[in-house]
Amino acid sequence: MKLRNYLHIALLTAISLVLFLVEGLIPLPFIAPGAKLGLANIVTVCALFLQGPRACLFIIILRTGLASFFGGGPVIFLYSIAGGLLSLAMMTALKKSARFSIIGISAAGGFAHHLGQLIVAACAADTLSMFRYLPILGPCGLLTGFIIGGLSARILSHKFD
């Protein structure tokens, strides 16, 4: 990787972390454990399209690591990273198929994020009952992913060099 790529990763990670922290300041109704806006994922989606999955992987790992340092802790890190990685895997696969638009890819990514978190939570708690939350969290992820996808599409419609 060139220095330029490292710089992009560093900048995008910083933006993503700020979005994550800002989101924490916005009061939102509590719907279900783990449900949130996921503003930081605007950066994830944009980075996937601008820089590719490799850079995106770095950004997710760095942001999740730093975010759990600012608040959360190791347990929360574990299930955030599981969500992030499953989401990235899903989005990369869908992007490769070239059949879907940014919004569709992002919505699926949102869903995968919650699915990943639930899988880790189910393993940690050693009970399948965790998946009771899927009917709430799944559509939540789709909706927030849809919105994030729309926002990302707008950002990506500008020219970058």
DSSP classification of residue 72: T
CA 140, 31, 38: angle at the middle one, nearest 5? 50
- Show Cβ contacts of residue 88 under 8 Å, excluding neighbours closer than 6 positions: 44, 48, 53, 56, 57, 60, 109
Query: Nearest approach, Cβ of 5 to another protein (angstroms)?
Result: 22
Q: Which is nearer to another protein, 9 or 103 (CB)?
A: 103
54 or 132: whose CB is closer to another protein?
A: 132
In the complex, least distance from residue 89 CB atom to another protein, rounded to whole angstroms: 15
- Distance in angstroms (rounded) separating the CA atoms of residues 121 and 111: 15
- Which of 9/114 has CB closer to another protein? 114
Q: How far is the CB of 135 from another protein (least distance, A)?
A: 5
Smallest gap from residue 78 Cβ to another protein (A)? 9
Q: Which residues contact another protein (rule: CB under 8 A)?
A: 30, 33-34, 71-73, 75-76, 79, 94, 99-104, 107-108, 111, 121, 124-127, 129-132, 134-135, 137-139, 142, 146, 150, 153
CB 40 within 8 A of CB 26: no
Q: What is the DSSP letter of 130?
A: G
